[in-house]
Amino acid sequence: MEAALAHRRAPVPAAADAAILTLTVAGQLCGVPVLGVRDILGPQAITPIPLAPPEVAGGLNLRGRIVTAVDLRRRLGLPPRNPAGPPPMSVVVEGGGELYALLADSVGDVLALPESGLAPNPPTLDPLWQGVCAGVHQNVPDGGEAPGRLLIMLDVERVLDIG
């Protein structure tokens, strides 16, 4: 009986594994540490903030609290989202004691990736991306038959360092 129960239990990530929430921005697979994620929201009404930096899409209401929405496409120097396409998803994170919503094209799964598999940023990575990336995971399974994709780990504190 114990063997049958053990077989049905969900695998627990090893201590050397990090839980990563995956998200996609302009087709690029990115990740943030799941322990830093406070909420995941579907499409939200975003109110522009006058005189805000271009990376700030505006503010949104999260249960009565105003949260600054950061457009990851703009922050990462990518082309703007197609207005006719699906609206962005919001990954709510904390930075400097405040909540921020990172606007991503889509939000994926939570993966347990070995911390030993986090490689330094490749020298060919765009300098803007190098400034906000904590490293890369290679050959991350994407659920399909492809061998895997490159996942860029975002350093949330550096992403939020908008100036």
CATH value at residue 98: 2.40.50.180
Structural contact between residues 53 and 163, judged by C-beta atoms closer than 8 angstroms: yes
Q: pLDDT tens, 68-111?
A: 999 999 999 999 999 898 999 999 999 888 999 999 999 999 99
Nearest to 130 by CA among 107, 105, 159: 159
Cα gap 3→39, rounded to integer Å: 36
Instruction: Determine, yes or no, domain membership for 77.
Output: yes
What one-letter code names the amino acid at 61?
N
- The pTM assigned to this predicted structure is 0.85
Mention every residue, 6+ apart, whose C-beta is less than 8 A from residue 81.
71, 73, 88, 105
Instruction: Determine, yes or no, domain membership for 13.
Output: no
If residue 72 lies in a helix (H) or strand (E), which one and from where to where? Answer: helix 72-75
List alpha helices for 1-141, DSSP H. 2-8, 72-75, 127-130
**pLDDT for residue 4 is more than 50:** no
Domain span including residue 24: 18-141+149-159
